[in-house]
Chains A and B, each alone.
Chain A
Amino acid sequence: DVKVTQSSRYLVKRTGEKVFLECVQDMDHENMFWYRQDPGLGLRLIYFSYDVKMKEKGDIPEGYSVSREKKERFSLILESASTNQTSMYLCASSRPSTGELFFGEGSRLTVL
């Protein structure tokens, strides 16, 4: 069964801490994405990657960075977490030919 796995379902961090959210997919997909989902705002794209070591800013990249050292792994980094980054973070992957997104289960981050 195809799968996108996010390392942590729930995290609680302090303001100013560095946060790593890991995502691994086993479908050999070229494309990987990080979204955040907030009530009333829907899903918003933070960063995406079309290839290893390649990254592109999405709609709301401020305060975030990403890393894609291997095809199957895409990491989201919050260099200095702030309370307004409390959210549900969703990782997704897709093949360029189909465009269908396969999502992970999400990581709910709370920043105190």
Chain B
Amino acid sequence: KNQVEQSPQSLIILEGKNCTLQCNYTVSPFSNLRWYKQDTGRGPVSLTIMTFSENTKSNGRYTATLDADTKQSSLHITASQLSDSASYICVVSGGQAGTALIFGKGTTLSVSS
């Protein structure tokens, strides 16, 4: 069964600290993986996309990694800011038709001062 599991479910960190969010998937065949950021009361916005051949991709203070062999991805946030407080959702594209979108349940990050 195609599944996407995210951990931790929630996380609280101090402003300025780094953190890493995890995404494990069992989607096959794999097409790509996206990380979305969802601010409270808003719609999700794409942060980055990872394809099979990519190991690392950065978007400012956000760095995503992908290990296609172990089917794991991580999102690392450097020098966190209060505005990083949000839910982060991992979405894997693939499946038999190649177009199915399988969503993780998200990690809720709270950055406190």
- Decide whether A and B assemble into one complex: yes
Seen from chain A, the residues whose Cβ lies within 8 Å of a Cβ on chain B are 4, 40-45, 90, 92, 96, 99-101, 103-106
Indicate if the CB atoms of B46 and A100 lie closer than 8 Å.
Answer: yes
Q: Which residues of B contact A (CB under 8 A)?
A: 31-32, 34, 36, 41-46, 49, 89, 91, 93, 99, 101, 103-106
Interface of B is mostly: strand
Shortest distance between the CB of B7 and any CB in chain A (Å): 13
How many residue pairs at the A-B interface have CB separations less than 8 Å? 42
Task: Report whether B32 and A40 are in contact in the complex, using a CB–CB cutoff of 8 Å.
Answer: no
Residues in A with CB closer than 8 Å to B101 are: 45, 99, 101
Q: Please measure, in the bound complex, the distance between the C-alpha atom of A41 and the C-alpha atom of B106, giving whole angstroms.
A: 9
Partner of A103, one of B34, B45, B49, B105: B45
Whether B43 lies near A99 (C-beta < 8 A) is no
Cα distance A31–B54 in the bound complex, in angstroms: 26
Known interface pairs A41-B105, A42-B105, A42-B106; A99-B99 also in contact (CB < 8 Å): yes
Chain B residues, Cβ within 8 Å of A100: 34, 46, 49
| A106 to B99 alpha-carbon distance, docked (Å) | 23
11 A–B contact pairs at CB < 8 A?
A4-B43, A40-B105, A41-B105, A43-B44, A90-B44, A92-B43, A99-B34, A100-B49, A101-B36, A104-B43, A106-B41
Q: Would A106 and B106 count as touching, CB distance under 8 A?
A: no
Q: Are A103 and B44 in contact (CB under 8 A)?
A: yes
Q: In the assembled complex, which residues on chain A have CB atoms less than 8 Å from the CB atom of B91?
A: 101
A92 to B89, CA, bound (A): 15
